[in-house]
Structure formats: structure tokens, C-alpha cells
Amino acid sequence: MNLVIFGAPGSGKGTQSEKLIEEYNLHHISTGELLRDHIARGTELGKLANTYISNGLLIPDELMIEVLDEIFKNDPEKVAKGVIFDGFPRTVAQAEALSEMLKEYGSEIHAVVGLEVEEDELIRRMLERGKQSGRSDDNLETIKKRLNVYHRQTSPLRDYYMEKGKYHSIDGNGTVDGIFGLIKKALDEETA
């Protein structure tokens, strides 16, 4: 089973992914974490990504797709076992590239879990995390830019996956465990 966990910045993608990888024995591919790791190690990719991330902008599609392609090539086992994609795809171009890449491995995206959270709550969560996270994008100015970018470039994917019958809308406003329960219910109904 390959899943996409989808939602605005701060919607809980990383938090719910941790629980999902245990429950369903999946690999976790978080493009945000991957890029932050490159920044910490000072790689060429990290240097380039840093400017985009700290300005709340998306890394260009072409580069991001190349990075994903590398992961698949270096570790085809991941795709064989099943992956939860967190933070990818973020544009329709990325979604189409992902579908092509998975096709090469005889696979596809089976379900998209969309976490839907009120904007005030998103901002509250990210500001709270920003007190400790050291993330260059967890400050009010950049959070506002990230939310704008989400509405402009990423949210159209909701309709994209809805039309394919893959989108599961989840109320992401409650407690971590409560939300996880809703996700499990949606996925278990899907695979029943």
C-alpha cells in the first residue's frame, strides 16, 4: 500500500505519519525532513533548498522530482514494501511524475489522506513548535507565506485526487489519537 499524507503546513502530516508507519509497516518519505537533513549536512542540495525553505517557497518541481527519482533508484525495496509520502507531491506536476515513477515499479498511489485543519489552529501549532524546532520557516512571516503557497500551488491536488476517487477527507482538528482513529477507519474501509 502506498499512501500520500496531504495537508497544509502544520496540519499534522509528520505526526500522523509516525503512527501510520507502525500500524501499516510502511516506509516514510518526508521531503521536508530530507531537505532539512541536507541543509544540516551542508550539501549542494541543502544550500540550494535553504533559500527556498526559509522564504516559505517550494523547491522547483524539476529538482524535487529528481530527488525522489534518486530515492527510488537507490532503494527499490522501499517501493516494494509500501511508502507513506509526506510533503510530496505538492504540485500537480509532482503528482503526475510520482504516478509515472510508481508505474515503473508496477505500483501506484492507493489512497490520499487529507488532513483538514482550521487556519488559526495551523498557525498556533507552528508558532508553538517554532519556540523549540530551530526550523527557519516556523516564524509568523514565513508561516503566512507557506500558507499562501499551499493555497495557490498545493491545494489544487485535493480536487486532483478527489477526481481519481483516492482522496479521504479527515478532520484534523482534534487530538492526535482521535485523528489517527479517523484515518485508520478510512483506510480500513478502503482495504476491506
Q: Which of 14, 82, 130, 174 binds Mg ion (CB under 5 A)?
A: 14
**Segment interacting with Mg ion (CB under 5 A) among 12-20, 49-57, 70-78, 180-188:** 12-20
Our answer to whether residue 125 is catalytic in this structure is no
Q: Which residues of 137-166 are buried (b: 16+ CB within 10 A; e: fewer)?
A: bbeeebbeebbebbeebbeebbebbeeeeb
DSSP, residue by residue, 113-131: EEEE--HHHHHHHHHHHHH
Does residue 130 touch Mg ion according to CB under 5 A? no
Which residue in the list 47, 73, 129, 164 is annotated as catalytic?
129
64 binds, among ligand AP5, Mg ion, none (CB under 5 to 8 A by kind): ligand AP5
3-class DSSP state of 153: helix
- In one-letter notation, the amino acid at residue 14 is G
> Could you give the angle at the alpha carbon of 62 between the alpha carbons of 157 and 170, nearest 5°?
20
Angle between helices 176-191 and 13-24 (to 10 degrees): 50
Q: Which is nearer to ligand AP5, 88 or 187 (CB)?
A: 88
Q: How far is CA 172 from the centre of its chain?
A: 14
Our CB check for ligand AP5 shows the closer of 14 and 82 to be: 14
Residue 152 is a catalytic residue = no
Residue 24 C-beta: closest distance to ligand AP5, Å: 17
Q: Least distance to ligand AP5 from the beta carbon of 22, Å?
A: 15
Please identify every residue annotated as catalytic. Answer: 13, 90, 129, 135, 146
Write out the residues near Mg ion by the rule CB under 5 A.
Answer: 13-14
